[in-house]
Amino acid sequence: MFLRKINQKHTGRVYLSIVESYRDKTTKKTKSRTIESLGYLDELEKKFKDPIAYYEKIICEMNQKKAFENSDILVKYKSNDKLEVGTNNRKNFGYAAFSAIYHTLEIDKFLINRQRSTKIEASTNNIMKLLVFSRLLNPGSKKKAYDQRNDFFENAHYSLDDVYRALSFFNEKGNELQLWMNEKVKENYGRDTSLVYYDVTNYYFESDCEDAFRCKGVSKEHRPNPIVQMGLFMDTNGIPITYDLYSGNTNDCLTYRPTFSRMKKEFDLGKVIVVADKGMSTGDNIQYTLSANDGFVFSYSARGANKALKDYILDEEGYVFKGDDYKWKERIYPTEIWVTMTSGKKQKKTIDAKQVVFYSEKYAKKARMERAKAIEKAKKLIKTPSNYNRSTSYGAAGYVKNLSFVKDTGEIADITALSLDEEKIKAQEALDGYYVLITSEYKKSASEVIEIYRGLWKIEESFKVTKSDLETRPVYVSTQDHIKAHFLTCFIALVLARILEFKMDGKHTITRIIDSLSKCTCTNVDQNYYLFDYYDEVLKDIGDVTNVDFSTKIRTLQQIKKNISETKTR
């Protein structure tokens, strides 16, 4: 290819175009064809200082690329070649997909601009990328991420101390960054908040040390370690909106109102319908949601219901059947809730709400199986109580009559009067498979309300992703600002993963996405040549939505850096 300059005789102007020479297969003669018409030189001089030099450089790069693509690459090794200690020629390229989303959200721009007003010298943007990409593709401690910083084609000119110093900066800017990301999600991907989902989970620490923030509470994983609580809001598409952290001994239901209030004030979401499980269905939470002119779909415990509701659940009249193993019914019914007044006293209020009851044989079988295990454990506890204490009796204790524990030691206080609670077992069996939903959206049909509630699995899955794929716990940092920064990086990682999943219309799970991108590595085989040895359907689909090519087998370092650079300018 070359730059053709055509002098226009009647005007004296020079016209530029990129032309390629080729040999005609029929005539065997050399011909040329125009690849790109560039325009008149005098007009191009308004855009470029020296258009001819500019385009000749581009053409040179195009020729080099073409020559590389069409050339054979010969790499020679001797049979006795050995590796030196510390050799690591492999790098990850899969992170380019997450880099594309990271830069679309302009997280880099946010951090660079905020850092200018500080005395921090190391690039907080580069450190954030390290922590987020490592969390996604090779999770572990901050030190592990730092030790493996050269696994990416990124600038790593910072120390481990710089990484820890940056955590305090991240914590300081955490809420502001969440707001920034929310706006960028709305701009680039659309933020559907007609329904928002809320749930709470907790994360444990490697250390046994407690303080006012990381302390022992009701662990979702039944561990004795100190924990912190996280309340997370997610939009209709499954993309996280915001989160808050609470001390480990905070009751789940008490996390809802502060996080909901902050989200409504700061995130400009308009009217929403909040969907949450039975842990949030307190009178205070219901009243707070309604007072903000928003709606709710909360689950309600069938076993914890009053007699009138239990009678309604077990009355076969009014049920609509779908097959032999699924049914539902609905009613608009005055619902009594207890609301805490400013004086601190509780006051009973009555609201009109729709109650939706549904039954699933699948859920009933699951409940029976889980209870059978607990009952079997309860029988063993009754037979050999000395083998159990407050901690190890979890799950079985609820089915044992007269069971109490010594406060200080956790040992069973009285082993002489233990017996199986047959009445409780019978009462629970009657309600196996039944679920109750209470909602302000009385105009929606029962099937619509049930379908809305089913979307809650997305946020439950998000917590599973953070705990398994992202290995958010155990938490290794100890100071409160470092802990909060740790969860911020995990939140960003989750947002990037969810967006990528969303862009592919949920075709692949986050687990599969992360697995394929972590396998997308390359090895420096000779000088600047890198060999790629993994490609699958997932990478193909990711490449289609991110415009990142994962299929090329051999690339130069220059090409790889160009590929990575392109993810930062979209």
Q: What is the pLDDT of residues 417-438, one digit of tens each?
A: 899 999 999 999 999 999 999 9
Instruction: Name 451's Cβ contacts closer than 8 Å, sequence gap at least 6.
Output: none
Report pLDDT for 170. Answer: 97
* Structural contact between residues 22 and 33, judged by C-beta atoms closer than 8 angstroms: yes
CA dist., res. 380 & res. 388, Å (int): 9
Report pLDDT for 196. Answer: 95
Report pLDDT for 93. Answer: 97
Query: pLDDT, tens digit, for every residue of 57-77?
Result: 888 888 777 766 666 777 777
Residue 517 has pLDDT above 90, yes or no: yes
Q: What is the mean pLDDT of residues 293-316?
A: 91
Query: pLDDT, tens digit, for every residue of 24-38?
Result: 767 778 888 888 889
Supply angle C-alpha 224, 228, 234, rounded to 5.
130
Residues facing 315 on adjacent strands: none
Residue 133 has pLDDT above 70, yes or no: yes
Q: Enumerate the H helices of 384-479 as residue ranges.
A: 422-430, 446-454, 457-467
This prediction has a pTM of: 0.82
**How high is the mean pLDDT of the chain?**
91
Report pLDDT for 300. Answer: 87
Neighbours of 119 (CB within 10 A): 5
Residue 474 has pLDDT above 90, yes or no: no
